[in-house]
Structure 1
């Protein structure tokens, strides 16, 4: 069976960075499932679609044909790598991800990403729903304060002004929404390894995931 490592966790927990580095270290493919929801939200916002209209949003998600090339993401030949990381898109993505028809539309896209020699997938339900048979499931978390500080630093590096208290409140609200949604709420898989990175560097976090995987494959 094609091996899969799933890395789930809340917004701004660093799961994308960790997953991509783990994939590179192992020579595996990388799936940023969150990007699919952000792409759906970006498309909806761009077309002024009603974020409460599940039917329309499901159709938009099902029609997505993104390209992932050299670390960049393209949608309709537009480089949207940075655009889909905007806070407005992130908030909309959290709402869109709660809609069953959107999740159903993107389900097959995610499952098809499982290819030789292996896959590292990050998201919110990769281990609990999409790849329940993954040999290693990681739930990467960190305090809202630690995540807000990381997001603040990232925005500052890009020259974007932000307020850390506002970022913290937004993250806490998104956590509540993600954990309380009726469909696939944010929660670790029953057999997931919990990794709190509040006090860890990215390098240390990656090293821990690689250690767990290598212990399984010895």
Structure 2
């Protein structure tokens, strides 16, 4: 049975962490689509290309070879995983991700991967655009303060000097941009199962998703 799992949700909902664990449990290739947009953002900012320079952005993306090794993203054979998770990238990625031409190129790449492998993808429009026929769709969310606290703890653990209120405000701002952009805004797919993890641990969320997948595949 061909298996594909789509996990969508706002920033800080725990999508990537949970998707990686589920991918390991079910032997799925994990594709962090958000990391791909972050990589484009990093490379564009390094080259002083704004989100308005569409032609330059297209040329830039066409020069990038992206692949994942386990859960780390390599771009032109350089591991960019740590750099693309810096606050400056988080604060700018929504602007680049809203560019239609960028989304079109990356969505096609993501869809081609899904045609070849059993995959789990997380992002903002997986269930609604990238994998509309995914075997399973989940929408992860949590309260603003819970998501900000998780992101704060993550960055502090990496030794970064960050401010909680700044992160909270950035998350609120990013939510607005992601849900109001013209092209493929963040929204819950009609057939997705919504999970509010505000009062749930990562393990509890994983167990809930894994149980659902197992119960709906055992007879197939």
TM-score between the two structures when normalised by the length of structure 1: 0.95
Gaps of 5+ in 2: none
The Cα offsets for residues 31-89 of structure 1, whole Å up to 9 and x where unpaired, read as 10001100110110111112222222233223320232243222223221100001111
The Cα offsets for residues 76-105 of structure 1, whole Å up to 9 and x where unpaired, read as 232211000011112221111101000111
**Does the 8 A contact of 2:30 with 2:71 survive in 1?**
no
Greater shift in the superposed pair: 72-81 or 126-135: 72-81
CA distance in 2, matches of 1:92, 1:57: 15
Runs of 4+ in 1 over 4 A off after TM superposition: none
CA distance in 2, matches of 1:116, 1:207: 27
**Does the 8 A contact of 1:4 with 1:134 survive in 2?**
yes
Match of 1:127 in 2: 127
CA distance in 2, matches of 1:81, 1:139: 24
Match of 1:157 in 2: 157
Greater shift in the superposed pair: 106-115 or 149-158: 106-115
TM-score between the two structures when normalised by the length of structure 2: 0.94
Change (3 A) 1:130 1:117: closer
Q: Spell out the pairing of 1:108-119 with structure 2 (5 A cutoff).
A: 108-114=108-114, 118-119=118-119
Q: CA deviation at 1:119?
A: 0.9
Gaps of 5+ in 1: none
Match of 1:95 in 2: 95
- Name the count of aligned residue pairs: 218
CA distance in 2, matches of 1:209, 1:59: 39
Q: CA deviation at 1:195?
A: 0.5
